[in-house]
Structure 1
Amino acid sequence: MILTVRIDDDINILLEDITRSFKKTKSEIVREALNNYLKEIKHNKEEKIKKAIDKCAKKDMKVYRDFEGILDENL
């Protein structure tokens, strides 16, 4: 797939420096950078979901224990 992206002159200068340093094409550098960025976004999203699930589970467990305590007191 071909993707066209416009970049600022400052970014282009940095990109050219990196391509010379690593002896890679601009396409290779941008492809690697985009891949790493997308993996990081996915990882961060998964971590946020896990934290939300843990938070809900803890709250649900507290509600369950409170409810269980009420039942025990009335029986």
Structure 2
Amino acid sequence: MAETAAATLDREIELTIQESARAALAQIDRALARLESGGYGRCEKCGKPIGAARLEVAPFATLCVDCKRAEERQF
């Protein structure tokens, strides 16, 4: 019984890691597409530049700090 629970837990952890990796790759792909189209570094909501410090921390960011904060307040 304990072996089955451990195997189930291992599988759940593996699936979580795989999903996180897929999400990260999707963010990278979107950032590369924005780079190719000339939209990288611009906020998708207001069109203003996304700060260099934000892009350094989150190179896949699509929103400037102000728009991201406003979006988070809505939830």
TM-score, structure 1 normalization: 0.50
Higher helix share: 1
Q: Structure 2 matches for 1:1-75, cutoff 5 A?
A: 29-66=1-38
Structure 1: segments with no counterpart, 5+ residues: 1-28, 68-75
- The structure 1 segments of at least 4 consecutive aligned residues displaced by more than 3 Å after TM superposition are none
TM-score, structure 2 normalization: 0.50
Query: What root-mean-square deviation, in Å, do the aligned CA atoms of Structure 1 and Structure 2 show?
Result: 1.2
Higher RCO (C-alpha 8 Å, min separation 6): 2
Q: Greater Rg, structure 1 or structure 2?
A: 1
Structure 2: segments with no counterpart, 5+ residues: 40-75
Q: Distance in 1 between the 2:34 and 2:14 partners?
A: 30
